[in-house]
Amino acid sequence: MSDDEIEIDIDGLERRMDGALHALKGEFATLRTGRASASMLEPVTIDAYGAVMPLNQCATVNVPEPRMITVNVWDKGLVGVVDKAIRNSGLGLNPVVEGTVLRLPIPELNEERRRELTRVAAQYAESARVAIRNVRRDGMDQIKKAKGAGMSEDDQKIWHEEIQSLTDKAVAEVDRVLEAKQEEIMQV
């Protein structure tokens, strides 16, 4: 087999590393920082019509002001179910029911809760770093297989450096996003 036929899937590795970063950003969006965000309610599910469904499939979620979320429930019969689901979600939100609209005031976070949220954010970031390192390991395994198929040592070194460069770049981006999120959480 010639060196031209041996190819490492760098685009696939980069896409998977970007996927880990995208997932991290999604997890960060669900962290409550004292500012209202519609994405805070994404993990909330309700039991309606004989099925468990995300809140956004039975209500409209809006952010009319920085410290308020409104949930406009489409079916009046589900208002109580939605209210209970939000209260039991662990987000620390207490809805105020006004007809089919639930108002969710976002309370100020105390210092202890802010520190706890920064630790949670750090755990999410570490999970993303682990995912990125697993992708790196898969890339290194591809190089080992290519070595068995006759890849030269020079080509192995080039691919190794390229995969390491991708990994370093992705981990640096995770660190940057984490630092920004922790700063946002600690902001009073």
Question: For the segment 9-39, what is each residue's pLDDT rounded down to a tens digit?
Answer: 889 999 999 999 999 988 887 776 667 778 7
Question: For the segment 105-146, what is each residue's pLDDT rounded down to a tens digit?
Answer: 887 778 887 888 888 899 999 999 999 999 999 999 999 998
The residue count for the chain: 188
User: What gap in Å lies between CA 154 and CA 60, rounded to an integer?
Assistant: 57
Rg, Å, the chain Cα set: 23
Strands (E), the chain: 45-48, 51-54, 59-65, 68-73, 96-98, 101-105
User: What gap in Å lies between CA 116 and CA 120, rounded to an integer?
Assistant: 6
At residue 4, does pLDDT exceed 60?
no
pLDDT band at 174 (very low <50, low <70, confident <90, very high): very high
Cα distances from 12 to residues 8, 112, 131, 172, 186, in angstroms, run: 9, 41, 14, 19, 36
> Mind listing the domains of the chain with CATH numbers?
9-29+110-186 (1.10.132.20), 38-105 (3.30.1360.40)
User: What gap in Å lies between CA 17 and CA 135, rounded to an integer?
Assistant: 7
Question: For the segment 151-171, what is each residue's pLDDT rounded down to a tens digit?
Answer: 888 988 999 999 999 999 999
Average pLDDT, the chain: 87
